[in-house]
Amino acid sequence: MQWIFLIGDASLTLSRFERLQFPGSRQIVRSGEQLLVQYENGDYAAFFREEDAEAMQSEFEPGELEKLLRFLPFDDPKWIMLKYRNIETVKQILQEPDFPKDVFIDCDGTDLGLETVSDRIIGTGLTALF
């Protein structure tokens, strides 16, 4: 299982993703703090509840979060973890016409090839942004 973080403003919620179409999905299940999208081909994507900057502090190296916060255009950014098995599923989700255009994607320092579907990728060479 792999994951990326979606970063946005206060409007970044599980409910926002729950309204997406997810073509090729066979079931979309909201269970409290998780939104699970199961696809016909056996793939899945799981969105996990939004977190604020303070809650995310432990996920970063010392000083790294402060640098990221200066880069983001949000006063109080929210994070949603997106867990997945297949990066092609993530690419499909990011290309959805209804996918929020104001969301940044943090790949946690790993080049996943997502820059081919979004220009809002951070976390691969993050220090070059500061």
Per-residue pLDDT band at 127 (split at 50, 70, 90): very low
Per-residue pLDDT band at 130 (split at 50, 70, 90): very low
- For 50-70, b/e burial (b = at least 16 CB within 10 A) is bbebeebeeeeeeeebeebbe
Rounded to the nearest integer, the mean pLDDT of the chain is 85
What local confidence, expressed as pLDDT, does residue 62 receive?
A: 83
Q: What is the pLDDT of residues 101-110, one digit of tens each?
A: 899 998 866 6
CB-CB neighbours of 31 under 10 Å: 8
Question: How buried is residue 95: exposed, middle or buried, by Cβ count under 10 Å (0-12/13-18/19+)?
Answer: exposed
Residue in the structure block whose two tokens are 């939004």: 50
Taking 80 as the threshold, does the pLDDT of residue 95 lie above it? yes
Cα 76–129–8 angle (5° rounding)?
A: 25
E strands, the chain, are 2-8, 25-31, 34-39, 44-52, 78-84, 104-106, 121-122
- Under DSSP, the state recorded for 83 is E
**Which alpha helices (H) appear in the chain, and where do they start and end?**
14-18, 53-56, 64-71, 87-94
Per-residue pLDDT band at 123 (split at 50, 70, 90): low
Range with lowest mean pLDDT among 31-45, 50-64, 76-90? 50-64
What local confidence, expressed as pLDDT, does residue 110 receive?
A: 66
Cα 47–105–22 angle (5° rounding)?
A: 45
What local confidence, expressed as pLDDT, does residue 17 receive?
A: 93
3-state secondary structure of 122: strand
What local confidence, expressed as pLDDT, does residue 119 receive?
A: 76
Q: What is the pLDDT of residues 12-39, one digit of tens each?
A: 999 999 999 899 999 999 999 999 999 9
